[in-house]
Amino acid sequence: MFLKAYLNTSDRQLIERFNTDWSLQYFCGKVLAADQQIRDLTIMTRIRAYIEEHCHWEQIQEVLMDHWKQDVDNSHVLLMDATCYESYVRFPTDPNYSGNAASGCLKSNCSKNVNNWA
């Protein structure tokens, strides 16, 4: 499941890559012989169904917390990401360019005329 999310692949792509990529096989601890391949493309779906049915997430979370507790220095501190993203993003298109140019020229000419009248 980790590799599927990490590699951003479909089930089929992951199985095809696993069959040919020794680094993935070593990572999973299952090295296929040269003449071996996983041919069952539904295996990922069946694995997810098995995990969903048999996994007790609360127990897993406790085990992981106990295992990593010694490596966390400030367990009493909550850190949050405060990254700001620009919310008004426009993509340049021909109508945008011409509209912005016309608007800029109009504002520029209007301000000059108002200053000349005063």
pLDDT tens, position by position, 10-62: 999 999 999 999 999 999 899 999 899 999 989 988 988 898 888 888 888 88
Q: Cβ contacts of residue 89 below 8 Å, gap of 6+?
A: none
Distance of CA 100 to CAs 8, 43, 49, 97, 106, Å?
39, 54, 54, 5, 10
Q: How confident is the model at residue 115 (pLDDT cuts 50, 70, 90)?
A: low
pLDDT tens, position by position, 66-97: 888 888 887 788 777 777 766 666 666 666 66
Q: Do 32 and 19 contact (CB within 8 A), yes or no?
A: yes
The answer to whether the pTM exceeds 0.95 is no
